[in-house]
Chains A and B, each alone.
Chain A
Amino acid sequence: MRLLFSLYRARAAGLLLALALSCLTLVAGVALFGVSGWFLTGAALAVSAMSFDLFAPSAMVRGFSFLRIASRYGERLAGHATTFKILSDIRVRVFSRLIPLVPFKAAAHRTGDFVARLTADVEALDMMFLQLVAPVATAILGAVGLGLFLGFVLPDALVAALVGFALTALLLPILIVLAGRRSGAETVRTAAELRVAVLDGIDGHADLVTLGATREAIEAIDRATASVRTARLRQSWRIACGPAFVVLGAGATLIATLWAGLGTLEAGGVSGPLLVAALLAVTAIFEVAGSILRGAGRLGATSAAARRVQALVDTEPTIRDRADPVALPATGPVRFENIGFSYGRDRSILAGLDLDIGFGERIAIIGESGSGKSTLLALLLRLADADQGRIRIGGVDIRDVRQADLHAHVALLSQDAPVFIGTIRDNLRIADPAADDAALFQALERARLAEFVRGLPQGLGTWLGESGQTLSAGQARRLCLARTLLSPAKVVLLDEPTAGLDRPTEAAFLADLLAVTAGRTVVLATHAALPEGAVDTVYRLENGALRRNG
């Protein structure tokens, strides 16, 4: 919630405007109903039309009507306009906080689920103000207004009306949130079991088919959905209390006000018309309770989302720059010295690894998948730090230079390199914002994608991703390869650059790898068969260490 409130502070003006309009809408509604009752009763009691001041009440009725219409419209517009600004603020804030944090070491953060969840969490925060904060603030201010009015007109009913309103509009939603938190545990548990059962069925589909056990899997889902339903129905008894208590609270408050008012009327403390006005005003103010209740129903999910986003924003980056970084030599060999690295306790990936790569040398690292090739490349970019040993470029430990300098010096084509939503030109220029079209085509040429791009009606301006051109896996791979080759970095790391390419294209690419990377240091991690002379040296990575191949 801290995050949200700091965002709200930044947009205080817009939020206050929305809030003021929301209060005005409520007040106009309450006043319209109250004045109508007052006027109507007064007219009924009037001895003659002459003695009755017709002008003031009819003007007020008309005035409040139009005020209500205009403020309702303004409230919705102002609220949404500010919400959109906050929506943009949240995304920018989360995005900029993530930059120093990625890549996450924990596996849970590496999956696509993480991005999906973060996106959903951020979305859940968007509407918090309109759905909950604004109605609650409106209710509190509305209660103050009602209190002032009753204080003048019907003081005897003041306590009953305010207590009834506060219990219904403010305390009841809190109770519902608390009750939901307790009884929600069973729902969450059964939903998690259903999720597991569904993923079991989908991920294990091939196993289930070969075991002839799809029927059993369907039965397991039947059981899991049935227990989700049972848990939800049990919870529904509590949820259903919300609207019931709003009806009850509004009704009880009306009766309490009525009872106090009738007594006052009898004692001559209030006129008939003002009694009716007070009663109708009390009835009308409960309109805000409904929206609070709806907002409270969503609070559980929203606060869970807020907690997760807050935790992420509060995470400290594990890899930092030194306070006094040294300069990185423009050229120089890359040396891995006695490197050890493991994921978790006992998943040792690299152990005692040594590697010397002369400046401008082109090497390949081969090995089974999972042998640590990608990890080795990641260490050179400080996407993770080695547990043991050191890596030097031109004699300087890479932990002593600025990460930005290191990243400018070393370019990586990772296995999961993405194509971004945007044009082909946008995608390529990520590597070199200043590159002109000729340079872009040169890079595409090297990645063997230029012909395809020239064939597109909009060429480099073709929009990729959502509602744009879709690329095949092989084309996407080549686009990412072109992007990496475009980078002016002196050291180029290619992790399975030919995955997704058909065999002839792969062979052709590998055959002229030397030509397209002239003057740069290249580390190629692959399990493709390398043609003779594609690189200077081939190493095999096995049991955490390297040995020369062949």
Chain B
Amino acid sequence: MSIIDSTPAAPKAAPSREIKWLRRQGRVGRGALGLAVMVPLVSACLTVTQAYWLAMILHRAIVDQVPAASQVPAITALGGMILARAVLAWIGEAAGIRAAEDVKQAVRRQLFADLMRRGPDWMRQRASGELASQILDQVEALDGYFARFVPAMIAAGLVPVAFAVVLMPVDLVVGLLLLLTAPLIPVFMALAGWGAEAASRQHLTALARLSGLFADRIRGLVVLKLFGRAEDEIARVRGASDEFAVRTLAVLRIAFLSSAVLEFFAALGVAGVALYVGLTYLDMIDLRGSALGLQAGLFCLLMAPEVYLPLRTLAAHYHDRANAKAAVANIEAAFGALPEAAPSPATSAPVGARLAGRRALAVAAVDLTVETPERGTILSSATFEIGAGETVALLGPSGIGKSTLIEVLARLRGHSGRVEIDGIALDAIEEGALRRKVAVLGQRPRLFHGTIASNIRLGRPHASDREVREAAERACVLDFADRLPEGLDTPVGERGSGLSGGEAQRVALARIFLRDPGLILLDEPTAHLDAETEARVVQAILAFAWGRSLLVATHSMAVAEQMGRICVIDGAGQIVPFEAAAALELDGAA
């Protein structure tokens, strides 16, 4: 199976890590892949029969002068073989596609499950579009490797040798000629493979570089235009393209020699067989004991190009391997590691402490320091508390770290120092328990593809329609939903299209109203709302928060005044009572 990768003549003796990983993934589609691999081998048997049969028909017509009418059964049989090969081609192609689909589906599941296991800190540092592109587009690039390359590779390893052996009883010299070249075939394959791969790698690298430059200049085109430099960059794009072309062509000039080599052997096969057989007929060479019939000679000639056909097919699909390898490398770079099918990822037992069934949960943070890669130190040795059942407002200008504090308390962001919920260290709490008892409303909640109602129901999957509607009413979702023709069943699309930021936030608030948390963390729940709606939303929040603990980050003094206590993050990264900060000019908090 690994004739390409393990042949000593190949420049790269050991298959690369990417290829090994690809092979492991191939196990998922084993059934279909096996079929896709078998089909060319069975089809090769038919090819031999078909060539033999055609040579026979021609021999009978030309030498024995059998009338065409009496050849009808033989020609019908020839038609049958062709039909069978067509059916096999169909099966092989369909099986290859199936194998590729099985593998892609499995890899996508693994990658996504892997993402879901990652921490929010890791996710925050990555562009969502890029991660999505790994799961969608890069995985798609594995298609050709399984659908076409693997069957072609195995056929190229077995079929030429088999053909040579089959030809030996017909004519020892032709058979031997091909059998003697047979040990060389892996060398040719390595040559062809090396050439094709080098060509395709060079081509891909050059293209990637060029596309990278092109994308870079387009991304910054506005800046170039404003500085009056855009026209000059045309020359640079042109210059870079030309340079890549020259450099790549220099490599291709050598790499394409491999296709010339393949062509050389294929032509040599045909020409060699034709000349040898022809000269034997003319008695100018006599290497056989017995006379050679036209049928045997034609059979050898018809088979000669077939011996090299699998190699050509392989060369044509070699770029599929290079593409798959590049895709695997991309996935590895984006994910940091290649995911392996975990034995049973779903059944891992919950680890960590559970939170008590108590309703209100207290929060205590001591010596809390948070540094972000984007904004440096946000909190520095801060101390902070929320008593059980207390309602606390958090003020401060935007960018000071209110959202960061909420993310820390929700265990969405790394920190140093000690944070406890209900007396248990935050890190030690079991994930499921934490999520059940701590509700979070982010500043830009995501609305998922579905309806307004299905988004609210995410809070409690088994909630009844009445409960969903009630939650929607309390969060003032009905204010806008009832104006829509489909009400709560209005579809919300990608990136929550159709709803404004404020509306999306109320939907996310309604989610929380369906839950039963002991601690509620809300990040600017009333941003973008008019004063009247804000007042109603705050009343609903306070009613829901009765007997629970609540922290609200806000810019609105009106909201803050409704809470039991007001805190402020100051410029030194400390969390201080509002009274202490009264002297501070609260820019942006008005």
Which of A's residues lie within 8 Å of B, judged by CB? 32-33, 35-37, 39-46, 49, 52, 54, 57-58, 61-62, 64-66, 68-70, 72-73, 76-77, 80-81, 84-85, 87-88, 91-92, 95-96, 98-99, 102-103, 111-113, 115-116, 118-119, 122-123, 126, 191, 193-218, 221-222, 225-226, 228-229, 232-233, 236-237, 239-248, 251-252, 254-255, 258-259, 262-263, 265-266, 272, 275-276, 279-280, 284, 290-291, 294, 368-369, 381, 383, 404, 407-408, 411-412, 414, 417-418, 420-421, 430-431, 433, 465-466, 473, 487, 500, 502-503, 527, 529
- B 276-293 binary contact with A (CB < 8 Å = 1; else 0): 011101111000000001
Q: Given A76-B256, A77-B252, are A213 and B458 neighbors across the interface (CB < 8 Å)?
A: yes
Q: A418 and B101: CB pair below 8 A?
A: no
Beta-carbon nearest neighbor of B61 in chain A:
A262
State whether A466 and B209 are in contact (beta carbons under 8 Å apart), knowing that A202-B123, A244-B89 are contacts in the complex. Answer: yes
CB <8 Å contact, B223 and A417: yes
Identify which of A193, A247, A276, A417 contacts B86 (C-beta below 8 A): A247
| B272-308 CB contacts (< 8 Å) to partner A | 273-275, 277-279, 281-284, 293-294, 297-298, 301-302, 305
16 A-B pairs within 8 Å (CB atoms) are namely A37-B301, A91-B237, A95-B221, A96-B231, A199-B128, A201-B116, A225-B104, A225-B109, A236-B97, A240-B94, A252-B82, A368-B398, A418-B216, A430-B227, A503-B376, A529-B397
CA distance A368 to B92 in the complex (A): 62
Pick the contact of A95 from B217, B222, B284 — CB < 8 Å?
A: B217
B335 at the interface (CB under 8 A from A): no
Instruction: Please give the distance in Å from B119's CB to the nearest CB on chain A.
Output: 9
Q: Quick check: A69 and B458 within 8 Å, CB to CB? A: no
- Contact bitstring B118-130, A, C-beta under 8 A = 1, else 0: 1010010001110
Q: Contacts A123-B207, A205-B116, A233-B101 known; A99 to B449 CB distance under 8 Å?
A: no
Across the interface, name the chain A residue whose C-beta is closest to B62.
A272
B127 proximity list for chain A (CB < 8 A): 112
Given A96-B234, A418-B220, are A225 and B397 neighbors across the interface (CB < 8 Å)?
no
The verdict on A37 contacting B298 (CB below 8 Å), with A237-B94, A369-B398, A500-B374 known, is yes
Q: Which residues of B contact A (CB under 8 A)?
A: 54, 57-58, 61-63, 67-68, 71, 75, 78-79, 82-83, 85-87, 89-94, 97-98, 101-102, 104-105, 108-109, 112-113, 115-118, 120, 123, 127-129, 131-133, 135-136, 207, 209-234, 237-238, 241-242, 244-245, 248-249, 252-253, 256-257, 259-260, 263-264, 267-268, 270-271, 273-275, 277-279, 281-284, 293-294, 297-298, 301-302, 305, 316, 346, 373-376, 397-399, 407, 410, 412, 431-432, 435-436, 438-440, 442, 445-446, 448-449, 458-459, 461, 493-495, 508, 511, 571, 587-588
Chain B contacts for A36, CB-based, 8 A = 270-271, 273-274, 301
- Does B248 contact A84, Cβ atoms closer than 8 Å? yes
Interface centre among A116, A204, A500, by most chain B C-beta atoms within 10 angstroms, is A204
Task: Let me know if A262 and B245 touch, CB within 8 A.
Answer: no
Q: How far is the CA of A259 from the CA of B283 in the complex (A)?
A: 32
- In the A-B complex, the 10 residue pairs with the closest CB atoms: A251-B82, A88-B241, A204-B446, A212-B435, A36-B274, A84-B245, A272-B62, A240-B93, A65-B267, A244-B90
Contact, CB under 8 Å: B136 / A243: no
List the B side residues contacting A502 at CB < 8 Å. Answer: 376
Does B588 lie within 8 Å of A527, measured CB to CB?
yes
> Per DSSP, are chain A's interface residues mostly helix, strand or loop, or mixed?
helix
A272 and B55 CA atoms in complex are apart in Å by: 12
Which residues of chain B are near A202, meaning CB under 8 Å? 115, 123, 128, 131-132
- Give the residue of A98, A226, A276, A473 whose beta carbon is less than 8 angstroms from that of B58: A276
Quick one: closest B residue to A244, CB to CB? B90
Bound CA–CA A45/B277 (angstroms): 12
Give the chain A neighbours of B294 by CB distance below 8 A.
Answer: 41, 44-45
From B129, B241, B253, B398, contact of A92 by CB (8 A):
B241
A241: which of B90, B207, B252, B316 is its contact (CB, 8 Å)? B90
Q: Which residue of A lies closest to B412 (CB)?
A: A206
The smallest C-beta distance from A445 to any residue of chain B, in angstroms, reads 20
- Interchain CB contact under 8 A, B259 and A72: yes
Establish whether residues B446 and A119, one from each chain, have CB atoms under 8 Å apart when the complex forms. Answer: no
CB <8 Å contact, B459 and A211? yes
